[in-house]
Amino acid sequence: MVNSNIRLSGKNLPIIIYFFSTLFMVFFSVNAIQNWQSLWAPGSIILACILPAIAVLVKNWSDLFKKNVWAIEFKFVLAITILGMLNICFSEDQFTSLKGMGLFLMSGILVFSISFSLFATKQIQKWFIYLCSFCFIILLGYGSFEFIQQFNIPEKGIYLFTGNAIPAGSLLILLSAGPLILLAKSKNNWHKLFWVFIVLSGAFLITLIAQRGPALTMVVMAFFLAATKRKGIWIFTMVSLALVGIGYQFADKVPLQFKSELLKKETLLVRMELYHIALDVLKEKPIFGLGFNSSLSRFIPDDYKAKIYPSDLNNSFQTMVVGIMVFDNMALSFLGEMGGIFTLAYIGLGVCLIINVSRSKNSDSTQTLLILVVLAGFFMHSMTFDSLKYPQLNWIFHSLLGLIARSKASDQEPQIHITPKY
């Protein structure tokens, strides 16, 4: 008698490990860093980042040294990694930079290398898109639970496992690439209705988070998406005007939580003031920067005279930034903390990916376009938020970059072996 045991090929093990690591990073990484015991926290994060990398390396070991020419993406990865190490060496706070830069490289640049290696077929890419959609749906359910909790606990926010409302919105924005792609590719009407509901529910939850950054991100995404469609800009303009008119008409009925957040100007002025401080940092340390996560306190002395932040507000500029001492802007963080050379190398990787996509004739244009729309919105949000310092955001962001880099993936599916047992 012959029994057929269907099992996935061992070649798929790196994908499985990477997917489980993705789930861990999305749902548990921040909690691990903030609440787990000292050894368990870094150990779990390192393990989640290193295990898929080891699995990919073992899988591709035989081919790694056979190729005389490495892909240009890997050359950029190598350059960024070396520059990151130099940033630690020249940092004003080497231990802090070691932890911050190490986490950034592991949960970002290393993840890009992993995803670039794994997303070699459209089938595997589809699995990742479904994984993003699954995480998105779970966060919708948990976010709804947190919103209901606010009726009993007014100070309770919608944090989505991130410990902060702002990265919670960013996480939804990045993961929305999954539902948006599945919506665009759905041929069944019921499937389309389901993904429309999921996307709109996500937009509504981001609105309930009541943060300006994620809300601005949705506007930017809608604008870029409208720009790709015929007459889309006109529709976008009309809808925007209608929403502004409705908002003005019912301004008095807006909940206090939303109104106070939308009208708060102190944080905006602080961020504008930080541009001047970043310029001072660049003048002094243009090559390697202050060091990743190094404090800005040296550039904000007690007698610092703000150039933009007005002195007649209730809270002084020094009061607003005490205990924070970060740029609160990813672009300024790159330039000021990581240095000009590191920033140029990182931008070079992004430019390289865009050039390769624009030259490709066999790329999945719909998928790539939607990912670029999501990343465009995320980029705008990063101008008001140190987004990539959160490991789960860093992970998903660089995974999406890996999808873009593999836009020319083949249709070949991973092999499934049937092993007969006698």
In a domain, 180, yes or no: yes
Residue 235 scores a pLDDT above 70: no
Q: Domain of 407?
A: 72-266+321-411
More confident residue, 191 or 233: 191
CB atoms within 10 A of CB 57: 15
Residue 377's closest CA among 166, 213, 220?
A: 220
Number of structural domains found in the chain: 1
What pLDDT shows up at residue 79?
94
Residue 61 scores a pLDDT above 90: no
In a domain, 173, yes or no: yes
In a domain, 366, yes or no: yes
82-91, 98-107, 126-135, 260-269: least confident range: 260-269
pLDDT classification of 240: cutoffs 50, 70, 90? low
In a domain, 17, yes or no: no
In a domain, 297, yes or no: no
418 strand-pairing partners: 6
Q: What is the mean pLDDT of the chain?
A: 82
How far apart, in whole angstroms, are the C-alpha atoms of residue 276 and residue 120? Answer: 44
Q: What is the mean pLDDT of residues 284-312?
A: 83
Q: What is the mean pLDDT of residues 267-295?
A: 85
In a domain, 280, yes or no: no
8 strand-pairing partners: 416
Q: Is 302 exposed, middle or buried (0-12, 13-18, 19+ CB in 10 A)?
A: exposed
Phi, psi for 419 (deg, rounded to 5): -100, 115
DSSP per position, 384-400: TS-GGGSHHHHHHHHHH
Most confident of 15-24, 59-68, 154-163: 15-24
In a domain, 306, yes or no: no
In a domain, 254, yes or no: yes
